[in-house]
Amino acid sequence: MTKGLASTEFELATSPEWVDEILLRGPDDDVCLHAGGPVDRAALRRLVDRGRDRLVEAGLRAGGSLALRLPPSVTYVAYLLAGWRIGAQVSLLDHRLTAFEVDNALRRLEPQVLVEAGRITSSPLSAFADVEETVTARAGRPAGTPHAVIQFSSGSTGPSKVIGRTAADLIAEVERYTRIDGVPLPGERVVVLASMVHVLGLVGALLYGLHAGVQIRPPERLTGDSVLDAVGAEPSPATVLGVPFHIGLLASVVDPPRLPQLKRMTTGGEAVPAATATAFTDKYGVPLGNMWGMTEVGVIATDLFGEHRPALAPAPGLAVVERDGELLVSRPESPYVGLSDPSRWADGWLHTRDAGVVDPGTGLVTVKGRLDSQVSVGGLKVDLTEVEATLAELPGVVAAVVLHDDVITAFAQLDAPATAASVQAGLAERLAAYKRPRRLHVLDALPRTTTGKLVRDLAVLRRAVAR
């Protein structure tokens, strides 16, 4: 485990100095980021200074509001840290959003300054883009809350929620990472595939890496071969950080080279089917770690050695309890910007909307899927998570979502030679009749969010079927 944060560092959480003291401090020649070439701390500080100057020229001040709509890039990192160093609130917009979605978000946020990509000169498959930014002053409003960052939930189950986190909250999560056994250690590298606009890549890679002295190294391209090239580029140990979708990138490599540098792959987001985890560990000979988290909290529980699958250990400093089949996480204040919904947060507990159990003896947490996955069929209870997991593990099933749409309905993406008929036959062997989907829709590709999560919004899936 890495060294935790000192108590005096937490006192910086309400001051812009936390960026320098917790994230940028270190030897000038320490290579903290590698994107198209090494970026040491002295160079990153210069880029942050330049970004701060441009933001100030646009009118941004302490207590102001800034929106970033940039692809993963050194430019994104510099402007994010520059906004925080000024003392502004920074809203993160995924660069893959449509113009319609961005316009809606900007109407909700009303930022005073917007930074977006003016010109991108790199390949669309580049993990980190070469960006020439534009900085635009807007007729927005100052930050209305003390949050350092504003994010949107993934939108996998419906409309995105606006979520705010203070600098103290971000620092507390970085501190949690320093106490988790199995995270990258100082002097090691993290090959980051997860988006740094969203919480796993933002805190688990960028902020933790900057604080702990772990080099952040995206691959040159988002392909399996390029990921392995990034791992093998230096002799220091490397952890690959992504979501289950990215396992497919590494699975696509037919005959991967032996890479003693590869320490593990860690995934967040959806649960990884047991068969997928076994196939990965057999192919690469390293642990496939698992993390459970939320935009509202960050990392909640982990199993970075793959020892307890599918159970996870709560992250240090967090309490997880089960009430009426739902998992609740300790959080001192509501993370939602605007009116606080007591059905989501109350009395220091965040309702995750995930079903699960907590082992009273070990404290290990098992997430069993969304709470609304429990349905009644002819008076019999059916857990749609079980049905979905069974479907996902059938041969040839690339991805699957199971929902209740008057009847149990499955949406699947298949690889040849799998067919709808072979899938239905496989389900008939594995599930009781009352559990089996009454409808099976086979799609060329299942809809996913910008973070790679499968979309579970029924309206979106219906539109995909109609197309």
- Total count of domains within the chain: 2
The tokens describing 290, both together, are 């698992």
* Exposure of 99 in the CB half-sphere (CA atoms within 13 A): 0
Asked if the structure places residue 228 within a domain, the reply is yes
- Residue by residue, pLDDT tens for the chain (467 residues) are 555 554 444 344 446 789 999 999 999 999 999 998 999 999 999 999 999 999 999 999 999 999 999 999 999 999 999 999 999 999 999 888 878 888 888 998 999 999 999 988 888 778 888 999 999 999 999 999 999 999 987 554 455 678 999 999 999 999 999 999 999 999 999 999 998 998 999 999 999 999 999 999 999 998 999 999 999 999 999 999 998 888 888 988 889 999 999 999 999 877 787 778 888 999 999 999 999 999 999 999 999 999 998 899 999 999 999 998 899 999 988 999 875 667 788 889 999 988 899 999 999 999 987 776 778 776 667 888 888 888 988 999 988 999 988 899 999 999 989 999 999 999 999 888 889 999 999 999 999 877 677 888 888 999 999 98
pTM for the complete prediction? 0.82
Q: How much is the pLDDT for 378?
A: 66
DSSP 426: H
Q: Is residue 320 assigned to a domain?
A: no
At residue 10, the pLDDT reads 39
pLDDT at 160 (0 to 100) = 64
Contact 120, 164 (CB under 8 A): no
Q: Is residue 158 part of a domain?
A: yes
Residue 193 and residue 66 share a domain: yes
Would you say residue 45 lies in a domain?
yes
pLDDT score at 1:
55
Domain encompassing residue 26: 1-307
Whichever domain contains 120, its CATH number is: 3.40.50.12780
Domain check: are 97 and 227 in the same one? yes
Amino acid at 115: V
Is residue 355 in some structural domain? no
Q: Are residues 287 and 143 in the same domain?
A: yes
Of the candidates 278, 307, 336, which is a domain's last residue? 307
The residue out of 258, 289, 307 marking a domain boundary is: 307
Looking at 307, 335, 354, the residue that finishes a domain is 307
DSSP string for residues in 60-128: --TT-EEEEE--SSHHHHHHHHHHHHHT-EEEE--TTS-HHHHHHHHHHH--SEEEEEEEE-S-TTBSS
- How does strand 113-120 pair with strand 65-69? parallel
Answer yes or no: is 283 within a domain. yes
H helices present in 332-446, as ranges: 384-392, 420-430
In a domain, 209, yes or no: yes
> Are 125 and 273 members of one domain?
yes
Residue 30 in any domain: the answer is yes
How far apart, in whole angstroms, are the C-alpha atoms of residue 224 and residue 277? 17
